[in-house]
Structure 1
Amino acid sequence: MFDYLINAFATLFVTIDPVGLAPMFLAVTSGLSAHDRRRVAIRATVTAAGILMLFFVAGQTVLNVLGISVSAFRVAGGVLLFLIAIEMVFGKRAARKSETAEKAVEDNPPGD
């Protein structure tokens, strides 16, 4: 059970990439005060945790309703991780992250 939890945590950590997203978060929230930046971080964390808990509790039901098998979901997840790895190897991921951060700041200026 402990090995499963470590494996799940490592997979989530690599997929979410908090170390790589920290500069983007700082860029997007650059015009906010420390208090507002903390509020944004807490709200994002609570939202992500809520989605994870929803799928933890009802994930199998959602997959069954959509007609997706667990094996197909695993294959799709593996393909996505492979594509992320290819982007990381060729350096396209960093450029895409910076473009996304710039677009987010343009669409929603800080302080609005």
Structure 2
Amino acid sequence: MSWIDLALFTTTFLTLFVIMDPPGTVPVFLALTSSMNRTQRIAAARQAILVALGVIVAFTLFGRYIFDFLHVSVPAFQASGGLLLLLVALDLLTGKTEDPSPSPSGVNVALVPLGTPLLAGPGAIVASMLAVENSDRSTAAWVAIGLAILAVHVCLYLAMRFAGIVRRVLGDGGVTVVTRLAGMLLAAIAVQLIADAVMAFVATA
């Protein structure tokens, strides 16, 4: 199968799957869409996936040029993404996401923070950029990277599409507990991103 680099497909898919963590998005998705009905949650899942896919593809193709043009380093990007995720985690821990009233800014949670930076976060963006940097950039390599990105997003959509089943099984009390746990896990991920960025800054100083 010369039209696809299977080794590159496998490594890229597994790397992005671990970083974007489709099963792990379920509790956060339920928390952020707690005030929505089934139809709205499905629409939110679709919007989040399209946003995440668009961001990942854009940075896969043009990320290096964007960073160079803006004079932004990868550690700085990681730190900013970590801070944004930390704010989301604090909202989950304090129960602010359970408020059904719309946000003052009118921001759709499916776009921000779900689509980005939660799904299309610094880790996933950097991983997709590195997949391109470490490949031979042949047609087979581009096909492998593209299919890997698409496959991970299909997994993400399926996880969120059927999150309503998890909600019915857990009930309102269970969802509240899962929301708090998701907040703690997300806070830990955010702190780890910031710590990694600080270590990278120190290493290059």
Assess if the C-alpha contact under 8 Å between 1:24 and 1:98 holds in 2: no
Assess if the C-alpha contact under 8 Å between 2:91 and 2:97 holds in 1: no
| 1:91 alignment partner in structure 2 | none
Q: Structure 1: which 5+ residue stretches go unaligned?
A: 81-96
What is the distance in 1 between the residues matched to 2:10 and 2:100? Answer: 37
Opposite residue 52 of structure 2, the aligned amino acid is A
One of 12, 16, 19 as aligned partner of 1:15: 19
What is the distance in 2 between the residues matched to 1:40 and 1:13? Answer: 20
Assess if the C-alpha contact under 8 Å between 2:31 and 2:92 holds in 1: yes
Opposite residue 8 of structure 2, the aligned amino acid is Y
Does residue 28 (structure 1) correspond to residue 43 (structure 2)? The answer is no
What is the distance in 2 between the residues matched to 1:106 and 1:61? Answer: 37
| 1:101 alignment partner in structure 2 | 92
One of 34, 43, 49 as aligned partner of 1:45: 49
Q: Structure 2: which 5+ residue stretches go unaligned?
A: 79-87, 103-205
What is the distance in 2 between the residues matched to 1:98 and 1:63? Answer: 27
Assess if the C-alpha contact under 8 Å between 1:32 and 1:111 holds in 2: no
| 1:83 alignment partner in structure 2 | none
C-alpha change, 1:13 and 1:100, in structure 2 (3 Å) is farther
What is the distance in 1 between the residues matched to 2:71 and 2:99? Answer: 41
Shift of 1:67: 5.0
Give the aligned CA root-mean-square deviation in angstroms.
2.9
Assess if the C-alpha contact under 8 Å between 2:33 and 2:41 holds in 1: yes
Shift of 1:30: 2.2
Shift of 1:6: 1.2
Does residue 60 (structure 1) correspond to residue 51 (structure 2)? The answer is no
What is the distance in 2 between the residues matched to 1:59 and 1:48? Answer: 14
